[in-house]
Every structure is written in C-alpha cells, then in structure tokens.
Amino acid sequence: MTELKLPITSRRQLLKYFASVPMLPMGAMAASSLLTGCNDSNDDNNNTTPTPIAAKFKSAVFSPMAAPNLANPAEMATMAVNSSLVVTLDDNSTKAYALAYQPFFVTGDLVSDGMGGKMLAGGYFDINNQPILDTSVAGSTRYLYSDCPDGSSLLTLDNPTVSVTGKPVFAVVQFEYTSENQAGQSLYGQLPSPIAVLTLDQDQTTGQLSLVKYHNVDTSGVNGLWITCGASLSPWNTHLSSEEYEPDATKAATDAQLRAFSTNLYGKADTANPYHYGHLPEVTVNPDGTGSIKKHYCLGRISHELVQVMPDERTVLMGDDYTNGGLFVFVADTAKDLSAGTLYVAKWTQTSGVSAGAGTLTWIKLGHATSTEIKAMADTLTAADIMDVKTVDPLIADPTATGYTQIAYSGGSNWVKLMPGMEKAAAFLETHRYAALVGGSLEFTKMEGTTVNAKDKVAYSAMSYVYKSMTDGKGDIHVEGPNAGAVYALNLTGGQNDLTGTAINSEWMPVDMAAVPALIGEDLATADSLGNTANPNKIANPDNIKFSETLRTLFVGEDSGMHVNNFLWAYNVDTKVLSRVMSTPAGAESTGLHAVDEINGWTYVMSNFQHAGDWGGIHANVKEILEPLINLNYKNGSGAAVGYLTASPKAIALQA
C-alpha cells in the first residue's frame, strides 16, 4: 500500500479532497459520514450538548489490485480497476472507497460539437480540414478514426465563455496513430495526427466531469502533425504535444511511410517536407472551447515523447523515444516562451553498470536558435545541404574519401560529413546525427516520459526498454538491462557549465541519473502460465509517467510487450511502495496519463488506452478467449477509451 499524509484540517478541505483524491471525484456526502465526531466545548448559544465536529484526516493508502487472469476473462478485456483508497481519520475510523474508470468516449463515437451537431471522436482530417475516408474495403467506406489516443491535459481558464451547468473544465487529447484500416493493413504513421479540445462540465457537488463539446484543432497552419505521442501541461497552462520518430530526411524520396502520410494529408505523395516534423507543437485553449496551435522548431528535431518544463518556466527536459537516442535539455531565453533558447545534449559518465545502471551527466551545447530561423531553414534546405550521410563506410567505395566521422544512428552506423557553415542547421534539423557527431551520449534506447518532483528537485525519466544501444558494450553506456525497462531519477541543480566551461543559465539541470530500485522491471527466464515474459508484480516497459506533488506519488503507465495486460502504477516516493491501480485491456498500452492535483477542489488522474487486442506472441494462451470480448467492448478492436479514474460514492466494507 502507498501511504498518503496530507495537511488537511478543515471539514471543507476534507470533503473536497476526499471527493476526489486520488483521481476521484466521488460524492462529498459519502465522505461526510466519516467526518462526524464530538468535542466537549459549548456551542455559540451556550448549549452544553456536545457539538459534532469534523475528525481530522490522518492518512490514506492505495490498496492495490491483483493482476487480472483467466479466472475472470472479462477483466482482462476492459479497463479493470479493483484498487481502492483507504482513509484513516484521527479518531482511527477507517473506510475504503472503490476506484473505477470513467470514459468520456470511445473513439469512433459520435459526440457533440457544442453547436447542435456531431463530431467523430478521434476522426482524421486532411490539410483542407476535410474528413479522411477509409476506402480499403469495397462497399464499406467510412470515416477514419484513431484507436490510439495518447497525451492529454486537463486545465481551466480564467475567462471561459462556454455555457455549462457547473464549472467549465477543458481537456486536450491527441491521437497518436491508427493501427490499421478495415482491410487489416497497417496505417501506422500514415495519417496526420488529430488533436482535440474537450469542453467538460464539472459537477460542483460530485466533481464528475461530463463531455459537452468536442472541437478538432485546425493543424493545417503547422503542416499537420506527425505521430503525436505523450504530452504535458505547461506551467503557463498550454498543452505541450510531441512528434516522435521523425522521418529520415536523407531518405525522403523513397520513404513509404512519409509518402503515404503526404498523400493522406496533401493528396500528393511528395508534398510533405520531412523537416516540418519531429518538433514540439503547443496548443492554447481558447475561452470558447476551441484551440490554436503552433510548432516550436528550436527544441531539436528528435523523437519527442513527453517533455517536462521545470518550475523556472524556462528549462525543458525532453524524452527521446529512439534507439540511439539522447537526453536533451532546452533552456528558453524567456519564461513561458519556447520560441527561442539554447539546446544541450547530455554526456553520460558511467558510475555503475549493474542492472539498469547509473551515471553522472555533463552537458554539450548544441546551439542557440529561434523557432523562426529554424523554420526558415526547414522550408528551404534539404538533407544534402546540411550533411553528407553514408550508411556504409565511404572508404570501401573510395579509399581517398576524407572528412567523414562514424556515428551511432538508429541502431546502426552512419558516416557523416558536415557541410560548411551548417552547424546550426544540423543542430536543430539533424539533431540526432549532430549530437552524436559532437560527442553526446546517443546510446539511450526508448527514453519515454519525463516528469519532475519539484519539492525534492528530482526529475524522472522512463526508459521503456534497457537494451540494444544501452547493453551492447559500445560507447559511453554499457549496462546489464533489463529488457523490461526502468524509471531513472535525475537530481537537478544550478551552477552548471557546459563542456566548454560556459555557464548554463538554469537552476534545474540534471547532474546524475540512476535507476529507482523499486521501478526496475524483471525479465522472466521463461514465460509464466498466462504468457507474461516480465514479472507482472513489477513494472514492465514504463512509458507515461507523471508526478503528483500533493500525493507525493509517481504514476507510471506501461507500454509493454512483456505483460499480457499493461498496468497503471502508483509509487509513493516517501514510502517506496508500488501499488497497481488499473489494468488496460489485453494488448493495449496505458496512455494519456496526467495527474492533476487540484481543479476547483478536486484531484484527477487522466488515463487512456490504445490498440486493445494488439496481439503478440505472449498472448497465445489468451487470444482465443479474449478477442471476442475485446471486439464486443471496443468496436471490433478499432475503438479506445479516453477518460479518467474516479471512485464509487459509496464506501465499501473493509475486509476483516
């Protein structure tokens, strides 16, 4: 169990907090039955009858759920939540509240556009904002929609103009990709990712959120979006999106994925410019529940997964979901403005190779730029203008070749030669290659989400798999694993210099990195009876991570090919206890994680899933049983849920 201790003393605070925490809301009236007590003081009318008072909050724990199994296949085929919150007051009374999952919609649903019409949840649009059709099966044409909702944010505005019964709350949800068309052909990365603003009505008695409006954000002004994965809420209340697995500009003319993307977006296979993708989009929610978007081109063109802006509102820690990826930091020139700043890549000096390992970090400056100047370069330059790139040693073909440097790139090797005067273009448009060329440790594999524990000045980074470039014995990083991945803690401090001795203008720079012992996965030598190849009672392949300052809890969502069902976990950083909170449908990934400490007195944890029934070898023992159930629950596997964790308004009896 994960213990939770909070400085709550008033009845009103307790009512509102336990109408919601964690990731609730639940009815305040249900909580009130916990709050009565007696004191010996007279009331204001000199009545000597004891007056009921609110008992003070003492502690709370997450009571974890067991991993679902074939004894109850229905649980394995849905968002299963059998965890609970156990509350203890200072009179030692104890009650438990059952947690549950509340979806806003399943993708493919028709939802309100707020103007009397309907929108297709997760639907795709081309550059002219026309719906994209699936014509793969003759006589069965339909609109395309995503089965892969991912990053989400929950926020409020000071001046909303939308009309709701309670109070308006807004969510931004992005859709990473669609697994396949009706004919069963893969569509991964071939469609421009949609992103939507949801207007929600927050019930002021229960905290419940209800969808009243769905708005598709117009992305035509930023050339569409490419594989939007994780996301975060900026300190200035905007949604920071992502574009991962940037297309290789050296292969643009023959890249089948990029050409299909271009066809679906523009109607022509050769229109999309690879240098327009792999950047950081930012969505601003408007008071009327619409949204506007811009792309920042100066944070490096990498496999952006999920960034974390530090409390200084300038320093951005960035995950890089790549093989031979790097740890990057961007320091903005001005707070709350990511349009200009300096980009750095980490140099790892290993201090331990045991298990997932540990190291100290120093920083290499890649360059300073504005988004405007890099966008201008992206519009006009080709890969050949920036670098001469070979995929085999040029000396084999030409023994007189000079000026090439061998670098690690995307699980293999490149030989690169920088064109004269192209340092800035290379740093911001060919970031992976340039960072390796100048000595960055481009050996991390699948670095996913990042988040921060501001009180302790500790950041966390999820390494979904610790293998390949991290375990091959080459370069700076050479650790043991496991394949099941780990979450690393990074201590943050100021007063740091880059490797040229120049001061870094940030008080939030990571200086070391070590795997958190309780958050290291465990590979199994042989699969268990269900099919798991990693211990189901430990995390496997962490992806989305978010930290709650109020709960002192790190939430971890899995994207695992080693667990039959993926899980959402809660890890208390003080007690070091890990609790399983939720299980996604078999074959699905836990996505869209966003821990929100307080909105109008309630606390929420947003959570989605994607690609239910994405069957792999580990599902051999369960597929036949679970596939019909998943098909029934989620539109034959083409739908996925967007929603949040809540709680039953009725207390449940504790086990003796």
**Model confidence over 370-401: pLDDT tens digits?**
999 999 999 999 999 999 999 999 999 999 99
The answer, yes or no, to whether residue 43 has pLDDT greater than 50, is no
What percentage of the chain has pLDDT greater than the value 70? 89
Q: Is the pLDDT of residue 272 over 90?
A: yes
DSSP letters spanning 435-486: HHHTT--TTEE-EEEEEEETTTTEEEEEES---GGGTSS-SS------TT-E
pLDDT at residue 26, as a whole number: 34
User: Which H/E stretch holds residue 17?
Assistant: helix 11-17
Sign of CA pseudo-dihedral 500, 503, 506, 512:
positive
Residue 58: per-residue pLDDT: 57
Residues 571-578, mean pLDDT to the nearest whole number:
92
Q: Is the pLDDT of residue 408 over 60?
A: yes
Q: Is the pLDDT assigned to residue 652 strictly greater than 50?
A: no
Give the amino acid at 510: P
Whether the per-residue pLDDT at 164 is higher than 90: the answer is yes
User: How deeply is 656 buried, as exposed, middle or buried, from its count of CB atoms within 10 A (0-12, 13-18, 19+)?
Assistant: exposed
- The label of the residue with tokens 């059998």 reads 82
- By the 8 A CB rule, do 533 and 523 touch? yes
Tokens standing for residue 399: 């023994």
CA distances for 523 relative to 113, 305, 478, angstroms: 46, 24, 18
Taking only Cα atoms into account, the Rg of the chain, rounded to an integer number of angstroms, comes to 25
Amino acid 22: pLDDT: 35
Q: β-strand 486-493 against 512-520: which pairing, if any? A: antiparallel
- Residue-wise pLDDT tens digits, 421-467: 999 999 999 999 999 999 999 999 999 999 999 999 999 999 999 99
Tokens for 600, please give them.
């109008």
Q: What is the pLDDT of residue 18?
A: 36
What number is the average pLDDT over the span 153-166?
97
pLDDT band at 4 (very low <50, low <70, confident <90, very high): very low
CB distance 104 to 170 below 8 Å: no
Question: From CA 374, how far away is CA 425, in angstroms rounded?
Answer: 7
pLDDT of 37 above 80: no
What does the alpha-carbon distance between residue 6 and residue 649 come to, in Å, rounded to a whole number? Answer: 21
Provide the b/e sequence for 562-599 (b: ≥16 CB within 10 Å).
bbbbbbbbbbbbebebbbbbbbbbbbbbbbbbbbbeeb
Q: What is the pLDDT of residue 316?
A: 98
Task: Summarize the confidence of residues 5-14 as an average pLDDT.
Answer: 35
Give me the DSSP letters along 492-537: EES--BBTTSPBP--S-EE-EEEEEEEEE--B-SS--SS--SB-TT
Of the pLDDT bands very low, low, confident and very high (cuts 50, 70, 90), residue 137 is very high
Mean pLDDT to the nearest integer, 309-338: 97
Beta bridge partners of 209: 202
pLDDT tens sequence across 72-131: 999 999 999 999 877 667 888 887 778 899 999 999 999 999 999 999 999 999 999 999
Amino acid 648: pLDDT: 61
Per-residue confidence band for 597, with pLDDT thresholds at 50, 70 and 90: confident
Instruction: Give me the residue label for tokens 């909303």.
Output: 160
Residue 8 has pLDDT above 90, yes or no: no
19: pLDDT strictly greater than 60: no
Q: What is the SS3 assignment for 274?
A: helix
pLDDT at position 57, please? 52
pLDDT at 40 over 60: no
Looking at 304-430, list the stretches that DSSP marks H as alpha helix, in order from N- to C-terminal side: 371-380, 383-386, 394-397, 423-429
Q: Which residues pair with 54 in a beta bridge?
A: 36
Instruction: Tell me the per-residue pLDDT of 550-562, one tens digit each, with 9 for 90 and over.
Output: 888 999 999 999 9
| Host H or E run for residue 31 | helix 28-32
In this prediction, residue 90 carries a pLDDT of 80
Asked whether residue 647 carries a pLDDT value surpassing 90, the answer given is no
Chain-centroid distance, C-alpha 95:
32
Lowest mean pLDDT among 55-69, 144-158, 223-237, 432-446: 55-69
Alpha helices in 223-287 (DSSP H): 256-266
Mean pLDDT score of the chain = 90
In whole angstroms, what is the distance from residue 467 CA to residue 541 CA? 11
Residue 493 and residue 507 in contact, taking contact as beta carbons nearer than 8 Å: yes
What pLDDT was estimated at residue 12?
Answer: 34
The per-residue pLDDT for 646 is: 83
For residue 266, pLDDT beyond 60: yes
Read off the tokens for 504: 């870094």
Q: Which two tokens stand for residue 439?
A: 């000595």
Task: For the chain, give the percent of residues with pLDDT over 90.
Answer: 83
How many other C-beta atoms can be found within 10 angstroms of the C-beta atom of residue 90?
12
Question: What confidence tens digit (pLDDT) does each residue in 194-224 have?
Answer: 999 999 999 998 899 999 999 999 999 999 9
Q: What is the pLDDT of residues 228-262, one digit of tens each?
A: 999 999 999 999 999 999 999 999 999 999 999 99
Longest dimension (CA), the chain: 102
**What pLDDT is stored for residue 265 in this prediction?**
98
